[in-house]
């Protein structure tokens, strides 16, 4: 069991969990992930490590509660526990050791960009972070990234920073000073747009792919993607790949395959809660 030390809400449906995991905290590197299972019989969820403290023996995981399993995890309070945390898994980020890097984060992907920016900053690399969300409440990790370099914020509605997409800001940043590399993490359409932007400028770009993973060892094949015309498995060969080699159309199609399976347990949970509320109301009326 892995004890939950803190559970803070960063944005609507987005929580930051700090858990005690000393061995993983000592071994983890930027870009790696863990597989989390709340309890026996629960779904296995891949989560990229947003931060870690080897001395304190802790990991930080940022989770967007979208489906049945992630909602159950973020509902666990500090003092509770997670049954299984397996890792660190995946290949570490290939980090620039000098020069200028741009880190682009969208939504929860901003937390995944954070450890990359941390490592780059420690190496003496100049870092500019471009982060975005639909509106101000959905933009996370601004202050953490601001400690590592400039931060440019974009929101769809203009409630914070530039009104528009992160790719709009990326184009302007690249025009002002050409980066040596771009790292991008976020929704697949966002990463694809970043890849299209940087490919036209011939700027090397790394994206972190988050397709459905089950075992984290490449055995199940659920996370296979096509990169450079060859089949790769995100859990063991990635999760980070050359953005200009990724078949994004195939990736988006594969991710859509699992939506109905996630929707089913969510619907069942809603029905169960409605039934429970109805029984409670009837009991209160009888009293």
Ramachandran class of 46: left when φ > 0, alpha when ψ lies in -120 to 50, beta otherwise:
beta
User: How do 58-64 and 126-133 pair as beta strands?
Assistant: unpaired
Domains 2-89 and 100-256 share a fold: no
Q: What is the mean pLDDT of residues 166-188?
A: 95
pLDDT at 130: 98
pLDDT at 122 over 60: yes
Instruction: Work out the average pLDDT over 139-149.
Output: 95
Query: 143: alpha, beta or left, given left = phi > 0 and alpha = psi -120 to 50?
Result: alpha
Q: Where do we find the tokens 């914070």?
A: 160
More confident of the two residues 90 and 272? 90
Distance between CA atoms of residues 5 and 23, nearest Å: 16
Percentage of the residues of the chain whose pLDDT score is greater than 70: 86
If you ran DSSP here, which 8-state letter would residue 245 be given?
A: G
pLDDT at 264 over 70: no
CA–CA separation, 190 vs 12, rounded Å? 20
pLDDT band of 281, cuts 50, 70, 90: very low
Q: Which residues contact 157 (CB under 8 A, 6 or more apart)?
A: 134, 135, 163
Q: With bands split at pLDDT 50, 70 and 90, how would you rate the model's confidence at 280?
A: very low
Q: Where are the domains of the chain?
A: 2-89, 100-256
pLDDT above 60 (res 279): no
pLDDT, tens digit (0-9, with 9 covering 90-100), for 47-79: 889 999 999 999 999 999 888 888 999 999 999
What pLDDT is stored for residue 16 in this prediction? 95
Burial classification of residue 5, based on how many CB atoms lie within 10 Å of its CB (0-12 exposed, 13-18 middle, 19 or more buried): middle
Q: Of 70-84, 107-121, 195-209, 213-227, which range is least confident?
A: 213-227
For residues 29-49, average pLDDT = 89
Assess whether pLDDT exceeds 50 at residue 273.
no
| Rounded Cα gap, residues 50 and 108, in angstroms | 10
Q: What pLDDT does 214 receive?
A: 65
Local confidence band at 278 (pLDDT 50, 70, 90 cut-offs): low
Architecture per CATH, 2-89 = Beta Barrel (2.40)
What is the CATH code for 100-256?
3.40.50.80
- Has this prediction a pTM greater than 0.75? yes
Cα separations (Å) of 34 from 85, 216, 235?
6, 8, 10
What is the average per-residue pLDDT within 185-192? 93
Cβ atoms of 164 and 197 within 8 Å: the answer is no
Question: What mean pLDDT value characterizes the chain?
Answer: 87
Q: Which two tokens stand for residue 117?
A: 């920016």
């Amino acid at each position: 069991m892995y004890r939950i030390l803190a559970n803070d809400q960063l944005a609507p449906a987005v929580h930051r969990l700090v858990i005690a995991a000393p061995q993983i905290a000592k071994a983890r590197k930027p870009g790696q992930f863990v597989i989390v299972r709340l309890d026996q019989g629960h779904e296995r969820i891949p989560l990229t490590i947003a931060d870690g403290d080897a001395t304190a023996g802790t990991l930080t995981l940022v989770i967007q509660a979208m489906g049945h399993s992630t909602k159950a995890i973020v509902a666990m309070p500090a003092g509770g526990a997670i049954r299984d945390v397996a890792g660190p898994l995946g290949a570490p980020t290939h980090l620039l050791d000098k020069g200028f890097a741009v880190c682009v984060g969208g939504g929860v992907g901003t937390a995944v960009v954070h450890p990359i920016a941390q490592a780059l900053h420690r190496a003496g690399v100049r870092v500019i972070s471009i982060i975005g969300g639909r509106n101000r409440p959905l933009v996370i990790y601004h202050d953490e990234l601001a400690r590592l370099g400039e931060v440019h914020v974009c929101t769809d509605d203009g409630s914070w920073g530039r009104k528009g997409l992160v790719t709009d800001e990326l184009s302007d940043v690249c025009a002002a000073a050409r980066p040596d590399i771009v790292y991008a993490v976020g929704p697949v359409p966002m990463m694809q747009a970043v890849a299209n932007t940087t490919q036209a400028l011939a700027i090397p770009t790394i994206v972190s792919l988050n397709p459905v993973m089950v075992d984290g060892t490449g055995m199940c094949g659920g996370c296979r993607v096509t990169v450079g015309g060859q089949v790769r498995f995100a859990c063991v060969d990635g999760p980070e790949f050359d953005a200009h080699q990724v078949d994004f159309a195939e990736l988006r199609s594969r991710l859509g395959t699992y939506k109905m399976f996630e929707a089913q347990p969510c619907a069942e949970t809603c029905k169960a809660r409605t039934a429970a509320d109805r029984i409670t109301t009837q009991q209160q009326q009888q009293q």
